[in-house]
Structure 1
Amino acid sequence: MKILKKYYLILLSVISAACDPFSTKIGSEVALYQSAEIKECSFPDTLKVMTWNIKFGGGRIDFFFDCHGDRVIMEKSEVMDHMSSLVEKIREVNPDILLIQEADVNAKRSAFVDQVQYLLDNTDLNYAAYASQWKASTVPSDGIGKMDSGNAILSKWNFTDAKRIALPLIQSQNFIVRYFYLKRNILDVQLEHEGKKLHVLNTHASAYAKDDTKKKQLDIIKAYADAISLKGDKVILGGDFNSLPPYTQQTSSFDDSVCTDEEFEADNYSAETQWMMPFYENYQAAIPLDEYQNNNKDHFTHTTDKSGFWNRKLDYLFTNGKFIHGSGKTLQQWMQISDHAPIMVNYEL
C-alpha cells in the first residue's frame, strides 16, 4: 500500500509540474479520412443508417474492465480477425452512413491498427470523420500504454463540415483518474443533398459516472440536436447512450455487476430509466418505444456475459426527419463480434 501511495504521489507531482505531460488533452479537432479507392455512388431516395459500438476490434475477449478476465493487449492477428468479421457484417448490411463508437486508430491495445481506415478500405464507404475520446501518449496503468480511441462517422459521400463538441467530465473521479480518463464528445458531420443540410451526430455517453455527469451529458446532447432542429436542418442522432429506455422492464441483471473494482462498477440503471424520455418525445426513434416495450428482449443491444444473451438496450438512433416505418432492426445475431449489437434503419431523404 505504501508503494502504491508513493507511485500515486510521484504521478501527481509529474502531472502538476507540466501542462500536459501525457498529451491527454483533446480540443475540437476532427480527423478526416477517405478510402484508398473511392467508390462512385449517387444519392438514393432513402439512406441506410447503422450504429455500432465495435469494442475496438476486441470481439468477445475477456478484458480486465469487463471483470471477466485480465487481458489488456491484443495480438495483431486477433485484431485483424475481429476487424475482418466486422467488415463481413458491415458489407452484408451495406449502410450508406455508419456511426461507430470505441474505434481505435493508434492504440497499443489494438496493435496500432487504424480501424477507421481499415473499415473504409474494406467496405463500400468512402469518407470518415473521427473524434478522439480517449487519448494519451501512454496510460501508465494496467499495461494500457499509448491510446487513441473515439467515435467515427463513415459515409459514402463526403462531408461539408465536421466538428467535435466536448461533453462534461466525471467530476467525482480523483484528479489523476480524470486526467487519464475518457473525454466524451458529440461528433457532428454535415452532408448536403439538393441544397438541404443533414447533420449526423454520433455520441458515446459515460458508463461509470457516480454523480450526475451522465445526466448532464444527455441534456447537452439533446440541446445540441434541438438547436439544429430549430434552424430548420435535419438531424440523425445515434450512438451508445449508456442509458436504458423509459419504462424498462426491470430485472436484477440491469444493476448487478461482476466488477468489484469501484472504477468499473455498473451504473444504477434503474434510477435512470426516464433520462431518455425527452429523446423519444421530440424525435422519431429507429426502434419506437411501443415496439421496444412489446418485444424488449428483441431490442437489447448490450451484454456483459458472452455466454448468455443481450440483457439491456443502450444504443439508439433518432431523427427529426423520417425513418421508414418498420425498417428499424436490432441485429442481435452477431454477439461474438462485439459486446454491442448494431442498429440499422432506413431514412427518407
Structure 2
Amino acid sequence: MGKKVVKVLLRFIIAIFIIIAGYFTFMTITDYKPDKIINLNIDNNQKKVAKIGDKISLLTFNIGYCGLDSGQDFFFDGGNSSRSESKKKTIENLDGIIEFLNKNKTDIILLQEIDINSTRSFHINEYKKIKESLNDYSSIFAWNYKVPWVPVPITKPYGSVKAGLAVFSKYNINEANRYQYPGKEKWPKQLAMLDRCFTESRIPVEDGKELIVINSHLSAYDKGGEIRKQQLGFLRKYLIKEYSKGNYIIVGGDWNHLIPRTDPNIFNTTQKWPEWLVNIPHSFKPEGFKWVADKNTPSNRSTDIPYERGVNFLSVIDGFLVSPNVEVLSVKGYDMEFKYSDHNPVIANIVLKEKE
C-alpha cells in the first residue's frame, strides 16, 4: 500500500472519529435535563369543578406519533421502519384519531407519544391540531422526548424528536406538574432515549379535596427491568402520599407492563411472548387501589412486523389504576385493529364516592 493511500485512509479515519466525537459532545451538551418537578402551563382552562357523584369518563390512548398505523413496523422492535410512511399518511392517522376523540368525547383525555416537531412525523404539530379540535377543554403538555438527532438506523435515521404527554380536561385544572421518573439508561444510550415522566393534573372537588389525574408512560426496554422497578416504586410512594390526604386518584396511560388480571393467550396469535413484556409486581399496587382495564380487547400489538390479524402478539398494557374512593362503573377497549397507532384506546367511567 502506497504512502499516499495510507495518508488518505488515515485522514478519513480521523475525520470519522472527529464527526462521531463531535456528535456525542453535541448530544451531551444539548441533552434534555428536566428538573424533578416542573410546573406546567394550563391552556384554555375550564371552570367546571368535580362533584361527588359525578359520572366522569376518561380515555387513554398512545397515539404512536400518528406514524405506527397497522401498515408499519418499528426498527426498535426488530422491524425496518423508523418514520411514518409519509406526511399524507401521518395526517390521515391524525385526522382519524381526532375523529375518534370527538366522536367519543370523554371528560378527560390522556394521550401519549404526541409529537410537536419530529422527523418521524414530518414535523407536524400534532398537539396543536388536537388542541384546536378540542377547544372546549383545558389542556396541558409535558415533554418526555426531546432529542436533536437520533442517528439510527443508518440508512434512514429516526432524526430529531420533540414529543410528550398531553392531557385534555372538561374540568378546571387547579395545578399541573411534570414529575421526572427516576432511573436512566447508561451514557451514551440515554442521549437518544425518552426522559420518562408522568403528569399530574389537580382538579378541585366540591368537598375541598382534589381529583388527581396522572398521565404516565413507563419504560419498556430496560434490560433486567431495574429502571422500571425504580419508576413503579416512585409512583407507588406518590400515590400513597396523595391518597393519605383524602384525594381521589386516577392513574392512566401506557404502563408498558402486562396489566394484572389480563392474559395475552386469549387473543390466539402465533407470535411468541416478547422479552420486554413483564407483569406488574403484586407489591406495587397500594392497598385498596383497583386496576381498570378491558381484558377482552388488546390495547397493544407487536411492531416487529406490520399488523396481521392472528399473527402479531397482542396484550393489554393500557388502562387505569384508581384509589379506593373512586367507584368504577365500566371500562371498554376499542378494537380499532391498530388502524392509526400500535395501540388501541381505552375508556373508563368512574364516580367519586362519598366519604364513608
TM-score, reference length from structure 1: 0.81
Q: Distance in 1 between matches of 2:203 and 2:38?
A: 18
1:69 counterpart residue number: 80
SS in 2 for 1:338: coil
Q: 1:74 to 1:254 in 2, by over 3 A?
A: closer
Q: 1:106 to 1:335 in 2, by over 3 A?
A: same
State the 1:335 CA deviation: 2.1
State the 1:7 CA deviation: 5.4
Choose 82-91 or 330-339, whichever is displaced more: 330-339
Choose 77-86 or 24-33, whichever is displaced more: 24-33
Q: 1:81 to 1:32 in 2, by over 3 A?
A: farther
Q: Unaligned regions of 5+ residues in structure 1, if any?
A: 258-265
> Which of 35, 38, 43 is the equivalent residue of 1:34?
43
Q: Distance in 1 between matches of 2:260 and 2:351?
A: 26
1:283 counterpart residue number: 289
State the 1:135 CA deviation: 0.5
Question: Are 1:104 and 1:113, in contact at CA under 8 Å, matched by a contact in 2?
Answer: yes
> Which of 46, 65, 72 is the equivalent residue of 2:55?
46
Looking at both structures, which has the greater relative contact order when contacts are Cα pairs under 8 Å and sequence separation is at least 6?
Answer: 2
Question: Are 2:263 and 2:315, in contact at CA under 8 Å, matched by a contact in 1?
Answer: no
1:240 counterpart residue number: 254
State the 1:323 CA deviation: 3.2
* Counterpart AA for 1:278: F
> Does residue 82 of structure 1 match 2:90?
no
Correspondence list, 1:145-156, <5 A: 145-156=159-170
1:273 counterpart residue number: 279
> Does residue 340 of structure 1 match 2:349?
no
Question: Are 1:24 and 1:137, in contact at CA under 8 Å, matched by a contact in 2?
Answer: no
Structure 1 stretches of at least 4 aligned residues deviating more than 6 Å after TM superposition: 2-6, 38-42
Question: Are 2:82 and 2:120, in contact at CA under 8 Å, matched by a contact in 1?
Answer: no
Q: Distance in 2 between matches of 1:33 and 1:8?
A: 45
2:64 counterpart residue number: 55
Q: CA-to-partner distance for each residue in 1:6-33, whole Å, 9 max, x for gaps?
A: 85785456545x7943343233445535
Aligned length: 323
1:163 counterpart residue number: 177
Question: Are 1:303 and 1:312, in contact at CA under 8 Å, matched by a contact in 2?
Answer: yes
> Does residue 208 of structure 1 match 2:221?
yes
State the 1:198 CA deviation: 1.0
Q: Distance in 2 between matches of 1:250 and 1:94?
A: 29
Q: CA-to-partner distance for each residue in 1:111-157, whole Å, 9 max, x for gaps?
A: 22222221121136522211111112233333222211121211123
SS in 2 for 1:32: coil
Q: 1:67 to 1:33 in 2, by over 3 A?
A: farther
2:6 counterpart residue number: none
Q: Distance in 2 between matches of 1:89 and 1:65?
A: 28
SS in 1 for 2:314: coil
1:311 counterpart residue number: 314
State the 1:315 CA deviation: 1.1
State the 1:230 CA deviation: 1.0
* Counterpart AA for 2:308: S
Q: 1:71 to 1:119 in 2, by over 3 A?
A: same
State the 1:306 CA deviation: 0.9
State the 1:4 CA deviation: 10
Question: Are 1:91 and 1:124, in contact at CA under 8 Å, matched by a contact in 2?
Answer: no
> Which of 178, 181, 200 is the equivalent residue of 2:193?
181
1:199 counterpart residue number: 212
Alpha carbon RMSD of aligned pairs, Å?
A: 3.1
Q: Distance in 2 between matches of 1:83 and 1:90?
A: 11
State the 1:236 CA deviation: 0.8
Question: Are 2:32 and 2:146, in contact at CA under 8 Å, matched by a contact in 1?
Answer: yes
Q: 1:344 to 1:5 in 2, by over 3 A?
A: farther
* Counterpart AA for 1:273: N
Choose 23-32 or 75-84, whichever is displaced more: 23-32
1:262 counterpart residue number: none
Choose 177-186 or 278-287, whichever is displaced more: 278-287
Question: Are 1:153 and 1:202, in contact at CA under 8 Å, matched by a contact in 2?
Answer: yes
State the 1:286 CA deviation: 2.2
Q: Distance in 2 between matches of 1:94 and 1:203?
A: 21
* Counterpart AA for 1:240: D
Q: Which has the larger radius of gyration?
A: 2
Q: Distance in 2 between matches of 1:256 and 1:33?
A: 40
Question: Are 2:46 and 2:138, in contact at CA under 8 Å, matched by a contact in 1?
Answer: no
SS in 2 for 1:279: coil
Correspondence list, 1:1-40, <5 A: 11-12=20-21, 15=24, 20-27=28-35, 28-29=37-38, 31-32=40-41, 34=43
Q: Distance in 1 between matches of 2:334 and 2:137?
A: 23
SS in 2 for 1:163: strand
Q: Distance in 1 between matches of 2:16 and 2:184?
A: 23
Q: 1:109 to 1:229 in 2, by over 3 A?
A: same
Q: Distance in 2 between matches of 1:345 and 1:192?
A: 20
> Does residue 300 of structure 1 match 2:298?
yes
State the 1:105 CA deviation: 1.4
Q: Distance in 2 between matches of 1:314 and 1:165?
A: 21
Q: Distance in 2 between matches of 1:255 and 1:7?
A: 40
> Does residue 115 of structure 1 match 2:105?
no
